[in-house]
Amino acid sequence: MKNIYFLDTSYILALEIRNEDAHQQVARSWADLAPFKPRIVTTTYIFDEVVTFFNSRNLHFKAVEVGTRFLESSDIELIEITQDLFSQGWQYFKRHQDKSYSLTDCLSFIVMQEREIVTALTLDHHFLQAGFQIVPS
C-alpha cells in the first residue's frame, strides 16, 4: 500500500518560494518522496491559505499558477470542508485552549484522524503536538 501524506500550507510555501529558509530542506524531502508517487491529501482550507498568501503579496499570477496546479493534479485529493467537518474542527479547537492551533490546523487534524493519515508534509510543529509525524523531520 502506498504511503498517504497530508499536505500542509507551510510545506507548499517552502517548496514554491525559492528564497524561503526551508526551501532546500523541503525540496530535498519532496525529491525523496516523489519517485514513490505518494497519495497526497489536503483540504480546501489549505488551498485557500496558499492562494491567499500569494495574492496578498501582489503575486496574483503565482496564486493562480499554484492553485491551478493543485486543482488539476491527479496526485492531490482535495477534501471539501463540509459543515460536519467544520463542526468537528471547531470542537477540537475549543478543547485545545492550551495550544496555539489555528482552526485550519484543527480541521487538518480531524481529516488526518478520519483518513488514518499519520504523516504530514509540514514545517508546523503543531502537527507533532497533535501526535502526528512530520516530513521533513
What are the residue ranges spanned by the domains of the chain?
4-135
pTM of the model: 0.94
Q: Give the per-residue pLDDT at 2.
A: 60
Query: Can you give the pLDDT at residue 1?
Result: 42
Q: Which residue intervals of 39-82 are DSSP H helices?
A: 44-56, 60-72
User: Burial, 75: exposed, middle or buried (Cβ in 10 Å; 0-12, 13-18, 19+)?
Assistant: exposed
The answer to whether the CB of 49 falls within 8 A of the CB of 63 is: no
Question: What are the average pLDDT values for consecutive 10-residue runs of the chain, which has 137 residues?
Answer: 87 92 94 92 98 97 96 95 98 97 98 97 97 95
Query: What architecture does CATH give domain 4-135?
Result: 3-Layer(aba) Sandwich (3.40)
Closest to 16 in 3D by CA, of 85, 68, 79, 72: 68
